[in-house]
């Protein structure tokens, strides 16, 4: 489907379901999905999209900025990188041993190669992010899991996804997007809690939202921050 409003023109996927309201979702890859009741007419969908045009434009600009910043890094001193919702300035120094650490608002990369070897610096920084992601996600997952009484521990997996922050695969498997390491801790907690709620309720029905409200009050504010403010 195509949404046109003034100078705006976007392609979107329309999914009809047994539901009472319309919903609009923008994914990290900038794909757009509209879900609507099975009996809804196209004019109702068009009117809904027009009411949401400003929000839609903000979301798309957000992901466009994030993708541009994420994929155009030079990995040289002076650049800024996100970690747990905060900006850190990169400093690359030659040394006898490779290491990466945080210090007073900076990411210090000590490299056994040239400080201008961007590929090697990128490798060191990505390895550091991977290690921190595993540690942070594991810790936050354990804490959020304590809010539930499943009687077992669903396994946590980390996998890059282009359309989701997290995913519920089965009662024994939860996946988190490693990109979340760039966001604040409460954003990570929200995504984890959201996916854990799906263990009890697979669909986004009334009972699912009631459970999410109970397990993570004010989640809507955190969701908004996740989608609009972490860069």
pLDDT tens figures, 125-134: 999 999 999 9
pLDDT tens figures, 12-41: 999 998 888 898 888 777 888 999 998 899
Minimum mean pLDDT range among 37-41, 68-72, 135-139: 68-72
Is the pLDDT confidence value at 54 over 90? no
pLDDT category at 70 given cuts 50, 70, 90 is low
pLDDT category at 231 given cuts 50, 70, 90 is very low
pLDDT category at 66 given cuts 50, 70, 90 is low
- Give mean pLDDT, residues 41-53: 91
- Give mean pLDDT, residues 87-116: 94
Is the pLDDT confidence value at 69 over 60? no
pLDDT for residue 71 = 57
- Give mean pLDDT, residues 170-175: 84
Is the pLDDT confidence value at 198 over 50? yes
pLDDT for residue 229 = 47
Mean pLDDT of the chain: 88
Is the pLDDT confidence value at 49 over 70? yes
pLDDT category at 181 given cuts 50, 70, 90 is very high
For residues 95 and 147, is the Cβ–Cβ distance under 8 A? no
pLDDT tens figures, 142-152: 999 999 988 88
User: Domain segments of the chain: what residues?
Assistant: 2-70, 73-228
Is the pLDDT confidence value at 110 over 50? yes
pLDDT for residue 196 = 94
Q: Using the CB atoms, write b or e for 146-163: b if 16+ within 10 Å.
A: eebeeeeebebeeeebee
Which CATH superfamily, name and number, covers 73-228? Metalloproteases ("zincins"), catalytic domain (3.30.2010.10)
pLDDT for residue 126 = 94
pLDDT tens figures, 212-223: 999 999 898 898
pLDDT for residue 195 = 94
């Amino acid at each position: 489907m195509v949404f046109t409003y003034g100078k705006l023109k976007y392609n979107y996927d329309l999914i009809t379901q047994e539901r009472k309201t319309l919903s609009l979702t923008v994914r990290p890859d900038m794909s757009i999905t509209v879900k609507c009741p099975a009996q809804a007419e196209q004019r109702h969908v068009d009117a809904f999209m027009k009411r949401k045009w400003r929000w839609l434009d903000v979301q798309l600009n957000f992901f466009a900025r994030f993708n541009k910043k994420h994929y155009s890094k030079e990995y040289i001193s002076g650049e800024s990188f996100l970690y747990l919702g905060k900006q850190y300035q990169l400093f690359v120094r030659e040394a006898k041993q490779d290491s990466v650490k945080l210090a007073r608002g900076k990411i210090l990369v000590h490299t056994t190669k040239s400080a201008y070897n961007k590929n090697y610096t990128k490798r060191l920084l990505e390895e550091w992010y991977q290690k921190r992601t595993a540690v942070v996600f594991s810790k936050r997952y354990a804490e959020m899991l304590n809010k539930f009484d499943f009687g077992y521990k669903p396994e946590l997996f980390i996998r890059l996804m282009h359309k989701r922050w997290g995913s519920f695969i089965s009662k024994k498997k939860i996946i988190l997007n490693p990109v979340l390491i760039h966001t604040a801790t409460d954003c990570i907690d929200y995504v984890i809690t959201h996916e854990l709620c799906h263990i009890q309720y697979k669909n986004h029905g009334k009972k699912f939202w009631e459970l999410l409200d109970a397990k993570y009050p004010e989640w809507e504010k955190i969701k908004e921050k996740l989608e609009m403010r972490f860069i």
